[in-house]
Structures are given as structure tokens and as C-alpha cells.
């Protein structure tokens, strides 16, 4: 809806302006009319005396127009007249945009609340914090947009040790005959939009030992659901990783890769009208259950992992949506 912005009233100036514009229009009409008559007079070879007489009113009108224009110019450029002309402004409400004043605007990047933060590795399609002791990530975070879900890049299925990891790292052979899948944290299917992103999703720093039934079942179901939300809402922000309930977890392979007790995933649906943050915790075991059975508040995931998720959100929004338990999947 449009409304006039209120300014101080100067009625005399406005009346003068309207009168001046009316005079200008009238004199312009007269000039054109008289000019046409003058043309016909010349064409008909009227006497010089008569032509001179007909020029007299034309001169008067032209002088009046010039005087009016001078007066208008004086008022216009004096600034007083323009100050009093009402301006039109729109009071249409713009939707609230969830901004992220921290982390360079990356809503998905979490924050380790303790001093155990690992090596940060930024990839084409995701960012992760790497735990060199467990040889698994602490968290992996990425934004998934609607456009990215339409990518056509094929899976490489080429698992590689991460060339940028400092110190001890996992190798694909550590998982051989272990009974665990090489479970993606940032899934390859989310990286179809770019060849480099797809290749880097197979770095072992993005992989955890995962129960095969979980990896190919309920965990995969949530990955599919996340892509559906990205298509529906335009973008989602995701962070996930392993949960270790003890300091001495089971290890596999020559490089002693730690086996998680569970996995978490938190998803921010940044809908401007109704933002939602949904938490999930999956035991690292077999199970074919509805995703609703794994749903928890993001606050409860934070307490179990000692990680602060979505810290770039305004505090009042973050506190509210992370404390809410979503009753039904969007």
C-alpha cells in the first residue's frame, strides 16, 4: 500500500505552482493557435500592416510565458518549492530475513564449545572439523540449495585419504572387513552440482564407520528428505557428525579409526515466515524406523555433543527454534 509522506504545508506555494502550470498550458495553446493563423496569413499574402498588427498579441503572450518560466525557475531552484511537494513512499512490509552477522554469513557453521576443536577443512561443497585422534570429523556442515539438488554429476566411488589432514588420517583400507560401511557425513548425492564437490565428498575425512543398515536405511532416508526440503524451501542448512559416549571407543583398521556410538544431524529450514530447526540422533545400529522416532530438539543435540549449532542466527530466533521439538516433519 502506498501512502503520502507528510511534509509541512505551504498552501500559497502550491496554489501558485498550479496556477503557473495552468497559465503555461493556456499560453502554449494560444501560441500554437496564433502561430497557425499567422502561417495562413502569410500564405494568403496579407498586407504588411495587418501582419504587424497580428504580431503584437503574439509578442505579449511570449513575454508573459517567459516571465512565468523565470518565476517558476526561481521557485524551483530555490529549493523551497520542491521541499513542499509531497513524496510517495511505500509502507509495504518486507519479510524478515534471517541474517548471520558472524561466520561470514554461513548459517550452517557450528561452534565447538570446548577446547577440543579440530582442524578446520573448507571444501567446495562443505566445511568440516577433523578429529585427528578418532580419524573422523567432529562435524560436517553445508548449505544445500534447490538448484544444487538438480545437479547431474555422477558418483566417483573413489574413497581417498584427505591430502590436507595434518598428522594421523584414515585410509579406505581401515574399513575393509570391519563390518562397517564408509558412511558419508556430507552425502555424495548433495554434491552432484559440481565435479570437485563430488570428488571431495569421498575424502576419508568426511567418512565415519557406520552400521550398514543405518547407512543404507534410515540415515539415507533423512538425506533424501533433506533434498526434498531444499527443493521446497529453496535452501536448507545442515550439520552432522558422530557421537562418542566414551573416551575409549571401539577402533578399526591399522590406523585405529574410532567407531561412533551414534550420529547426529541438525537441519535449519530458514523459512522467513516460520524458521525451523530439527534435530536427529541415530544409534549406530540396525533399525528401520520412521524418521520421527529419531527427532529431538537441537538443544538436546548440543548438550550431547558440546557443539553450538547455528550460532550465526539472531539469539532470540536461535534460542526459540532450537528449544522447540518439531512434532511433524515439514
User: Which residue intervals of the chain are DSSP H helices?
Assistant: 11-43, 48-78, 80-83, 195-200, 212-216, 218-233, 298-305, 315-323
Question: Could you give the CA distance from residue 214 to residue 292 in angstroms, rounded to a whole number?
Answer: 15
For the chain, the straight-line distance linking the first and the last C-alpha, in angstroms and rounded, comes to 32
Active-site annotation holds for 40: no
CB of 144 closer than 8 Å to CB of 188: no
Residues 222/228/229/234 CA torsion (nearest 10 deg): 140
Question: Could you give the CA distance from residue 54 to residue 29 in angstroms, rounded to a whole number?
Answer: 17
Across the strands, what pairs with 122?
127
Cβ-based neighbours of 73, under 8 Å, separated by 6 or more:
none
Which residue matches cell numbers 512565468?
68
103, 184, 261, 288: the active-site residue = 184
User: Which residue intervals of 79-216 are DSSP H helices?
Assistant: 80-83, 195-200, 212-216
Question: Could you give the CA distance from residue 152 to residue 176 in angstroms, rounded to a whole number?
Answer: 30
If DSSP codes are grouped into helix, strand and coil, which group holds residue 247? coil
> What phi and psi values does residue 297 have, to the nearest 5 degrees?
-75, 155
Catalytic site positions? 184
Amino acid at each position: 500500500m502506498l501512502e503520502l509522506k507528510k511534509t509541512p504545508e505551504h498552501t500559497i506555494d502550491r496554489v501558485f505552482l498550479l496556477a503557473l502550470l495552468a497559465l503555461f498550458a493556456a499560453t502554449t495553446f494560444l501560441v500554437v493557435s496564433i502561430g497557425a493563423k499567422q502561417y495562413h496569413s502569410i500564405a494568403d499574402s496579407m498586407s504588411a500592416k495587418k501582419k504587424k498588427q497580428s504580431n503584437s498579441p503574439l509578442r505579449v503572450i511570449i513575454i508573459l510565458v517567459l516571465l512565468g518560466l523565470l518565476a517558476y525557475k526561481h521557485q524551483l531552484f530555490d529549493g523551497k518549492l520542491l521541499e513542499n511537494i509531497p513524496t510517495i513512499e511505500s509502507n509495504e512490509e518486507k519479510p524478515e530475513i534471517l541474517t548471520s552477522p558472524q561466520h561470514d554469513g554461513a548459517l550452517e557453521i557450528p561452534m565447538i564449545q570446548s577446547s577440543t576443536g579440530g582442524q578446520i577443512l573448507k571444501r567446495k561443497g562443505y566445511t568440516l572439523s577433523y578429529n585427528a585422534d578418532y580419524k573422523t570429523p567432529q562435524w560436517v556442515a553445508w548449505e544445500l540449495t534447490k538448484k544444487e539438488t538438480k545437479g547431474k554429476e555422477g558418483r566417483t566411488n573413489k574413497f581417498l585419504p584427505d591430502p590436507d589432514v595434518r598428522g594421523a588420517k584414515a585410509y579406505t583400507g581401515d574399513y575393509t572387513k570391519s563390518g562397517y560401511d564408509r558412511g558419508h557425513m556430507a552425502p555424495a548425492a548433495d554434491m552432484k552440482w559440481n565435479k570437485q564437490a563430488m570428488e571431495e565428498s569421498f575424502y576419508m575425512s568426511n567418512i565415519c564407520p557406520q552400521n550398514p543398515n543405518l547407512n543404507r536405511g534410515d540415515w539415507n532416508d533423512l538425506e533424501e528428505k533433506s533434498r526434498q526440503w531444499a527443493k521446497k524451501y529453496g535452501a536448507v542448512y545442515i550439520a552432522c557428525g558422530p557421537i562418542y559416549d566414551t573416551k575409549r571407543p571401539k577402533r578399526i583398521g591399522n590406523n585405529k579409526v574410532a567407531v561412533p556410538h551414534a550420529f547426529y544431524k541438525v537441519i535449519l529450514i530458514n523459512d522467513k515466515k516460520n524458521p525451523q530447526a530439527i534435530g536427529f540422533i541415530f544409534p549406530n545400529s540396525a533399525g528401520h524406523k520412521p524418521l520421527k522416532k529419531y527427532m529431538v530438539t537441537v538443544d538436546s543435540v548440543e548438550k550431547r555433543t558440546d557443539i553450538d549449532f547455528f550460532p550465526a542466527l539472531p539469539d532470540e530466533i536461535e534460542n526459540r527454534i532450537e528449544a522447540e521439538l518439531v512434532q511433524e516433519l515439514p
